[in-house]
Structure 1
Amino acid sequence: MTLLDGRARTGAVARINPVAKLAASGLVAIPLVFTLDWVSAAVALVLECFLIPFAGLRWGEFWRRTWPVWIAAPLTAVTIALYGEAGGRVYVEWLLIRISDGSLELAAATLLRVLAVALPSVVLFITVDPTDLADGLAQIVRLPARFVLGALAGLRMIGLFIDDWRSLELARRARGVADRGRLRRFAGMAFALLVLSIRRGSKLATAMEARGFGAPGRRTWARTSTFGGREWALIAIGAGIAGSAVVAAAVAGTWNFILGPS
């Protein structure tokens, strides 16, 4: 199973090395993590919206992939609005709930911040093939091959786990043991899946060791992971977005370094 489909491959970003995508998303997220203001998050989000179409995703695909973000961001903002730090005029006050100008401003900043950090990460990694990512991490970042290949094997197993869960559910339903007791059924299926996963993991580890995946010394790779001008351009775009957000917040006077003195 791959994270990359045919439509995503047509985008300008799709064929860029996954290491560059990881670096670009990290550069965008770093300044937004250290500040909580609406200006920097809004500037970053607007600039990202201009780049999302280059990922090669249709709008239907985009909404299907990012709907958890659009649900999580407003829920986070509501929580901040109800229980965030009060400041200015207080509109509602009841028990622990206190809605004020300060909490509403923090809620708006949080909403934009979550969207600005999560959306580019989701969109970029929709176009990432796990094998390409593993090649890049091992050949370019120079991470240990055993760690990278183990993580790749585990990621490849996610699709099989989902199929196994569905097969177990259908098998139990065919035997008439899935009609009652949802909690008991879930516990039984989870234990059965755990046993099946351990057996499959043992077989996979033996097969990988037999093929020399755990052997010492320098290993060869079937595909060469390249890092060139397109990758550096994407990283530069990520750095530009981060820098624009920081400068805009500093000029507007809204920069709020969350690790600074209170």
Structure 2
Amino acid sequence: MTAPVTAASGRNGTEPPVQLGRGAGSVQPVASLLGVIALGVVLVLSLDLVSAATALLLELALLPVLRIPVRTLLLRTSPVLVVVPLTGVSIALYGQPSGRVWFDFAFAHVTDGSLQLALATMLRVLAVGIPGIVLFVRSDVTDLADGLAQILRLPARFVLGALAAIRMMTLLGDDWRQLAMARRARGVADSGRLRRGLSMAFGLLVVALRRATTLAVAMESRGFGAPGRRTWARRVRFAGPEWAMCGVLLGIGAAAVLAAVAAGTWRA
């Protein structure tokens, strides 16, 4: 969260008081972001089964530490669980053929090599996608924005604009329901489902653009676009818990690489 002023100092020439963020007792989301990126980079260095399976097993073993309810975990990871089989099928059909041929039709070739590559890719997507989701289940987007601006030193205008956009996205569902009720009250929502959907989508776009314009003017009037060094209402720190989070994720990647090298399956 940022202070609504951009002056570098207060009236008496001193820095205005700051407060620690609400997540001061937990891990800064930026640490999780950096750790997941580093883990993803390590896992894409090779497309073998051993490294991906090792990383996934270590992550599943550490999941109970986060104490996330099973229902919440399944709901949050459902997009990854849906994408993984589709990814595996596409690679199995159109991956590089090698070994025994199981199915051959036109451009589709299912072989031992394509099946192995498909399985390795599926495990790798799970190994990168699961921590990329579960580590941000309890994270506050404002804490993440504070970390991006204060730790990674990203431009304040970009961070604040992205934060405002994410905050406003929660209103799209309410706007859609209000549009549906308004059309139903006028008697124009009883037929033509496709046409109604397209019309409502256009109306939702108009509402979103109007709200974005109003929000931009409000933020500009409060000094969010002014030049100079910006002050921050909450100070964030990259300390022991953050380094531990990055170390755990890098350790998972290192263990996966060592396991693949020891098994002789590492393919750079």
Aligned length: 245
**Per residue, is there more helix in 1 or in 2?**
1
CA deviation string 1:91-111 (max 9, x = no partner) = 222222222111111111011
**CA–CA distance in 2 between the matches of 1:246 and 1:52?**
21
Q: Within 5 Å, give how 1:1-262 maps onto structure 2.
A: 15-257=26-268
CA deviation string 1:74-115 (max 9, x = no partner) = 121122112221111112222222221111111110110111
SS at match of 2:238: coil
16-25 or 190-199, larger mean C-alpha shift: 190-199
SS at match of 2:235: coil
Q: Which runs of 5+ in 2 are unaligned?
A: 1-22
Q: Tell whether the 8 Å contact from 2:26 to 2:241 is kept in structure 1 after alignment.
A: no
**CA–CA distance in 1 between the matches of 2:185 and 2:115?**
52
SS at match of 1:126: coil
**CA–CA distance in 1 between the matches of 2:246 and 2:267?**
25
CA deviation string 1:123-154 (max 9, x = no partner) = 01212111000111111111111111011000
Runs of 4+ in 1 over 3 A off after TM superposition: none
1:248 deviation in Å? 1.4
SS at match of 1:117: helix
SS at match of 2:190: coil
**CA–CA distance in 2 between the matches of 1:54 and 1:179?**
50
SS at match of 1:93: strand
1:192 deviation in Å? 1.1
Read off the aligned partner of 1:76 and give its amino acid letter: T
* Structure possessing the higher radius of gyration over alpha carbons: 2
RMSD: 1.6
Distance 1:84 1:156, change over 3 A: same
**CA–CA distance in 1 between the matches of 2:96 and 2:28?**
42
**CA–CA distance in 2 between the matches of 1:133 and 1:37?**
33
Determine the structure 1 residue equivalent to 2:16.
none
Q: Tell whether the 8 Å contact from 1:69 to 1:115 is kept in structure 2 after alignment.
A: yes
Q: Which runs of 5+ in 1 are unaligned?
A: 1-11, 258-262
Q: Tell whether the 8 Å contact from 1:55 to 1:127 is kept in structure 2 after alignment.
A: no
1:190 deviation in Å? 1.6
Between 1 and 2, higher relative CO (CA 8 Å, sep ≥ 6) is seen in 2
State percent identity of aligned pairs. 56
